[in-house]
Amino acid sequence: MAEEKKSKLFAFKPLIERWPAVSRPEGHVNFRTKLMWTILCLVLYYVLTNVMIYGLQKRTLDMFEDYRFIMAGASGSVMHLGIGPIVTASIILQLFVGAKIIKLDLTKKEDKAIYQGFQKILVIIMIFVEAIPQIFGYLRPNDALVGMVGSNWASAIIVIQLVIGALLVFFMDELISKWGIGSGISLFIAAGVSQSVFTGLFNWLPVGGGELSLSNPPAGCIPGTVYMVTHMDLGDLTSWGYQTIFLGSTGINYQNALVPLLGTITIFLFVVYAESSRIELPLAHGRVRGARGRYPIRLIYASNIPVILMSALLANINMFSLLLYQSDLPLLGHQWWIGTYPVDPSTGQLLATHAIGGGAWYLSNPGGLNSWLIPILSGGYGGHSSLQFALKIIVYLAVLIGGSVLFAKFWIETTDMGPAAVARQIQRSGMQIPGFRRDPRVLKRVLERYIPVVTVIGGAAVGALAGFADCIGTVGNVRGTGLLLTVGILIRLYEDIAKEQAMEMHPVLRGFFGKE
């Protein structure tokens, strides 16, 4: 009977056992070795983002342009897909397990091994699912490559490069999780966003290239603001200058204005405060008298993972709506309610990957105050009324916050962060809550008072914070989610480094953290 209740995924067990993977260290890996592997993967990531796809046309469309911060990749490079396939596979599997469509008990070691192994198979599948559509109107081979090998082989070469780049990201993430510090996914996101924020602040090159002018100011917030203030007369300032300096302008594609800078600083300070807010449960060792400690339950308990998953889901919704808009599928192709996109009326070619109407438009990023507040105050813009812009903000925030809460609940159950798993972890360490019996069931009941509630509040908080930043804009156009993630990731990376150093000095702590 026990065998009959097993999930159908156990049929993949022979394949999972033979699937190529980075081997786990047999013993403790010292701090210097972990730091070396982490830095090596980070340097390799930066190198690969500057290796452009061979044989690609100069003008390309990026279907993930609005979500490039969450994809942790560079458009047109071999890292074009970034971490997209990894995150998408995680979303799909979490949804299926959470909805009990796939029956796995992740508290059991065998079921958890199947879950993690099948996720690797699903990542490979999603690499091809996200790579192949890129050649249909987005990443097209140039004439030189087509002339050498033909159009079909030229497209295949583009796909092969995308697959290789995505596989490298996958293995680097696995290498960091087993031999390095923290998470590879988080590290790559922080690296890409930090680079964008730095250039958004200090880039002195003109927005549109060429020579500097008031219609082509420096792209960075600081040099751009200084240039416009020192070169504008009073008439320019009162007519359009103040709006451009504070809110930015879509007319000259200037987005690194002062309000996004203030929003960036606000998000940074708020995340630092939220990360330090926690409930601390007192602990005492059951056998060693006087040995006491505390178990912290953070306000943002599920970390930033829920908003990563939610943003990746929105990115995939945009991708599939874009593909459907260009398809001839009955009932789905060219349907305005799914999403409409700008096309050249003479050639029918797609001009941009930003939705301009339909469901995809309501779920797209607000893009800062200049993109929705000014249209609301001025009565509408681009065929949309003020009411539609207001509804777009409400829908976007509701979906982002609600989705973050759901993913937060799924995440803690699939990563041993739920009350039962934490109770077992505390029990194994020999600690207990003073005044309560040393029993995992008692610990579980105490933790159930806090963890589920904090999970919902934390998920809603990160969703709301990311949505708020998206609405007011951010420096470097990294979106609120990207900035939120980066600040949280850097704080967690600092804490992981401190924890690794503590375990290096006090080996007995490895048992508590589950490292041995």
Phi/psi for 372 (5° steps) reads -135, -35
Q: Which residues of 229-262 are buried (b: 16+ CB within 10 A; e: fewer)?
A: eeebeeeeeeeebebbbbbbbeebebbbbbbbbe
The residues facing 292 across adjacent strands are 284
Alpha helices in 221-290 (DSSP H): 221-231, 234-236, 242-247, 258-276
Domain ranges of the chain: 32-189, 262-485+499-516
Q: Which residues contact 374 (CB under 8 A, 6 or more apart)?
A: 243, 247, 381
Low-confidence stretches of the chain (pLDDT beneath 70): 1-5, 66, 98-99, 107, 137, 250-251, 285-293, 435-438, 502-516
Residue 496 gets the label, from left (phi > 0), alpha (psi -120 to 50) or beta, of alpha
262-485+499-516: CATH, from 3.40.50.2000, 1.10.3370.10, 2.170.120.12, 3.30.70.260: 1.10.3370.10
Neighbours of 298 (CB within 10 A): 15
Query: Rounded CA gap, 155 and 131, in Å?
Result: 11
DSSP state of 385: -
Residue 3, pLDDT score: 47
Q: Which residues contact 103 (CB under 8 A, 6 or more apart)?
A: 5, 7
Q: Answer yes or no: same fold for 32-189 and 262-485+499-516.
A: yes
Query: Rounded CA gap, 492 and 484, in Å?
Result: 12
Q: Residue 445 has which token pair?
A: 């009941």
Residue 135, pLDDT score: 82
Query: Rounded CA gap, 451 and 495, in Å?
Result: 21
Three-class secondary structure assignment of 95-154: HHHHCCCCCCCCCCHHHHHHHHHHHHHHHHHHHHHHHHHHHCCCCCECHHHHHHHCHHHH
32-189: CATH, from 3.40.30.10, 1.20.1440.230, 1.10.1270.20, 1.10.3370.10: 1.10.3370.10
DSSP state of 180: S
- To which residue do tokens 């438009």 refer? 361
Query: Rounded CA gap, 279 and 291, in Å?
Result: 20
- To which residue do tokens 């092969």 refer? 160
Residue 158, pLDDT score: 92
Amino acid making up residue 21 = A
